[in-house]
Structures are given as structure tokens and as C-alpha cells.
Amino acid sequence: MIPLTHPAFDIKGAESDELSGKKMVLCITGSIAAIETVKLARELMRFGADVHAVMSPSAKKIIHPQALQYATGHEVITELTGKIEHVELCGCREDKAYLLLIAPCTANTIGKIATGIDDTPVTTFATTALGSGIPIVIAPAMHSSMYSHPIVMKNIQYLKELGIEFMRPRMEEGSAKLASIEDIVICVLRVLNRKDLRGKRVLITAGGTAESIDPIRILTNRSSGKTGLELAREAYIRGANVKLVQRGYSPYSEIESIYVESAQQMTDAVLNELRDGFDVLICPAAISDYTVDKHPDKTSFGKELTLSLKPVPKMIELVRKNHPNLTIIGFKAETNVSMKKLISRARSIMDKYKLDLVVANDVGKGGIGEDENEVYIISSEIMHVKGSKRDIAKRVIDALVGVL
Ligand SMILES: Cc1cc2nc3c(=O)[nH]c(=O)nc-3n(C[C@H](O)[C@H](O)[C@H](O)COP(=O)(O)O)c2cc1C
């Protein structure tokens, strides 16, 4: 028996409590990506999960069970005994696991689950979980020649039809590699979430824009894009189909990101995407109000340079004109104003552009580029939220669900 004070538990909930109280089974099969599972188990625990590892005999040849025992703080199940471990964790019992995650999953194990064979601890756990209605997530990993085998493809399709969630592997260097740990964690969060945005398409702008002075220099602002990214993550976890428009890249492969640079490019990209039928637009991006004529060559140093700034059309105004029924969340940033003034200015853009919600903050007090912020979420009511941008994103999405 491993004591409950095992040092493995020291990191539990260090990142967030989003998986706190959630017992989950991490099944590991004989892929070389099994070496990633120590990090994966630890990351799930940082989100609060209680992780129990199960290994196939082939997985044991790649990584020693003691590594997983160290990582999870629990005995690793490498064979089934009289304790009937598969029923204990995944049978029809009140305290059964919330989720069965098979990562990495070999072509062999996918084939066995699809045909109902269970001759390893992993396949027996999968059979039991399927029978007792525990959600299953499979993250395949194999050589690309195995992944493109028509029967492997057919098996995956069949298992998807049975309700098993498949993670897209990273197609790199001729291999279908295990999805990234970040992607696996948000997929697990999505599967376990209440999914109150299921079926909704949400477009989110994030970060600052940049206006080119010349081929090298730009005019930009201090917005980091963290709020937009946290909103995208939260909307995805809550079941939405999410797309980002930003001067940056998405850390999650399941959240597509369109790269733009200038204010005009961001406006054009948003208008273009909205033609494709989104339900919601969320606009935390700090879009430049001005642009500048770009000098074709590098401007020379040493003499005074005058820039003539020209106003750019307001994205939110154009969007509202073209999409009168779209649900829009606007953002209003002010500096060093009273709370009353901040809220009244936010209400005036809300009325002007018929916004469904406005998130207002006084960036004179901080927030830009930081991990924390203090905001007012304004609809018919006013909600004051101070804390991490992740927590703020949760409250904004709660408010969105309320207006949809
Ligand atoms: C070093 C090594 C790496 C392997 N990597 C993979 C892999 O990434 N994906 C896969 O489907 N099979 C891989 N295999 C083959 C599987 O281990 C083999 O099909 C085995 O029967 C799988 O058993 P299991 O599904 O019960 O774990 C690998 C084998 C070895 C020896």
C-alpha cells in the first residue's frame, strides 16, 4: 500500500482545481510515446486529478511501472488479480472513475477494443468502461504507415461512432505522434465538462495588432493576448467550436487560429469568418485605432521622423452593421477613471453597438500583459471579478451562457 502522504500528491491542484475530485484511469500501451506518460500524469495531477495508471505488457517493456507509481502515487495495475481492479475502478459502481484515458494507444489496442477483445489489463479496462458508460478518450500514437492502414482507420471510425473521443495525433517526421500534453488536458476537461456551449461556433479576437512603419518597424500595443486565449480555452472546454483571430499562434491544435497583423487585417478576417456562420463573437483584442502609411524601405536613422496616423474603421461597428443578430461580447479599457465612469462608458458602447455583454477594466490599475485582472462584466446586471485571467474567462463564459 502506498500511503496517502506520498510525495507525488504534493503537486495536486498546483495549476488549477478544474479536475479536483476526479478519479481517472490512465492506460498506457506499447508505443514509444509511453515515455511521455510520466509528464502527462503529473500534468493531470496539477489540475487536481487523482490518476491511476494501467499498463499493457508491451508498455512495461518501454517504461518501468515504478516511473508511473512515482508519478501518480498509486500502485500501477500491470495485471488483473483477485481484487478485480477493472471492476473496482471502472465497473458500475458509485465511486467509479470519471474517465478512461488511453495515451498512447497502439494500433493493436485500438483494433482489440473495436472487436471486443480484452486480453491485456488495458483492453479489459476499456471493455469495462465502455460497458459502464465511463467516457473514454484515446490518444493514438504510431508510425504514419500504421495510422493510414485502412483497418486502423475503420476501427477508429467505428469507435468514434460508439462515442469514444479520439485525439488527433501530431503528424510529424513520418509519425502520427501522441497529441501534446496541453491538448490532452483540454480534451479531458472538455469531455468532463457540462458542455453548455455544445454546438455553438465562437469566434474570438485576441492580443494587439501591429501597423507597419516600414518593412522592419511596427507600431503596436502592450496587449498580450492572454485574455483572448483563456476565453478560447474556456469556450472550447465548455463544448464550443472555437476559432481565434490574432497576431500569434494557438497553443492548442483543436483551436484553430488565423494569423493577422494589422487592424485592417483583423477586421477583414473577422468579417470574412463571420460569413461562415458563427453564433458568437468575443472581442478582447486591442485593435489599433490608427494606421500609418508603410514606407517601402527601411526608414533611415539620424533625422526627425514624422508619422501621420490615420483612423481605421471600427471593427465592432462594421460587424454589427453586417450581423444585426450576432451575439457580441465587447471589451472596454479605460485608464484611471472612477468605477462609475468606467461602467457608464462601457454601457454607452453597449448601447451604441447593441452588444450583449461588455467586459470593462481600468488598465491604469494593471491587467495588460499580466496574468491577473480586475473587470466588470456588464449585461443587465454588473458582476465584479478580480483574479486570474483564467477565472475571469470562466465568469465571462458563464455570463455568455446566460444571454444565449
Ligand atoms: C520500441 C517499440 C515502439 C513501438 N511503438 C509503437 C507505436 O508507437 N505505436 C504502435 O501502434 N505500436 C508500436 N509498437 C508495437 C507494439 O508495441 C505492438 O503492436 C504491441 O503488440 C502492442 O501491444 P499493446 O497494444 O497491448 O500495448 C512498438 C514496439 C516497440 C518494441
144 lines ligand 1 (CB under 6 A): no
- C-alpha of residue 31 to centroid of ligand 1, in Å: 4
373 and 230 within one domain: yes
Q: Residue 136 domain-assigned?
A: yes
Residues 174 and 32 in one domain: yes
Which of 55, 58, 122, 178 is the best mutation target for the ligand 1 pocket, counting ligand atoms within 8 Å of the beta carbon and taking the most?
A: 58
My answer on whether 390 and 297 are in the same domain is yes
249 plus 138 within the same structural domain: no
Distance 102 CA to ligand 1 centre (A): 14
* Ligand 1 pocket check for 56: Cβ under 6 Å: yes
Whether 109 and 224 share a structural domain: no
Residue with cell 478518450: 137
Do 242 and 182 reside in the same domain of the chain? no
pLDDT of residue 302: 77
Q: Residue 334's beta-bridge partner residues?
A: 362
Low-confidence ranges of the chain (pLDDT < 50): none
Q: Are 16 and 44 in contact (CB under 8 A)?
A: no
Same domain, 248 and 150: no
Which domain covers residue 210, as residue numbers?
201-403
Q: Residues with Cβ < 8 Å from 84, sequence gap 6 or more?
A: 91
Q: Is residue 1 one of the residues assigned to a domain?
A: no
Q: Which long-range contacts (CB under 8 A, 24 or more apart) does 73-81 make?
A: 73/2, 73/6, 73/7, 73/8, 73/9, 74/2, 75/1, 75/2, 77/52, 77/53, 77/121, 77/125, 78/54, 78/121, 79/121, 80/121, 80/124
Q: What's the pLDDT at 335?
A: 86
- 245 and 96, same domain (yes or no): no
Distance (Å) from CA 278 to ligand 1 centroid: 42
Residues 6+ apart with CB under 8 A from 281: 202, 203, 204, 205, 270, 274, 319, 323, 326, 327, 328, 329
**How many domains are contained in the chain?**
2
Q: Which of 55, 79, 108, 147 to mutate for ligand 1's pocket (most ligand atoms within 8 Å of CB)?
A: 108
The CATH number of the domain where 356 resides is what?
A: 3.40.50.10300
On whether both 82 and 157 belong to a single domain, the answer is yes
pLDDT digits (tens, 9 = 90+) for 93-103: 889 999 999 99
**CATH number of residue 25's parent domain:** 3.40.50.1950
| pLDDT confidence of residue 3 | 54
pLDDT reported for residue 338: 86
Last residue of a domain, one of 192, 226, 258: 192
User: C-alpha grid cell for residue 370?
Assistant: 499580466
pLDDT number for residue 372: 86
| Torsion angles phi and psi, residue 375, rounded to 5 | -135, 165
CB atoms within 10 A of CB 21: 10
Cα–Cα distance between 99 and 13 in angstroms, integer?
A: 18
Ligand 1 centroid from CA 178, angstroms: 13
**In sequence order, what DSSP letters do the residues of 34-57 get, joined into one string?**
GGGHHHHHHHHHHTT-EEEEEE-H
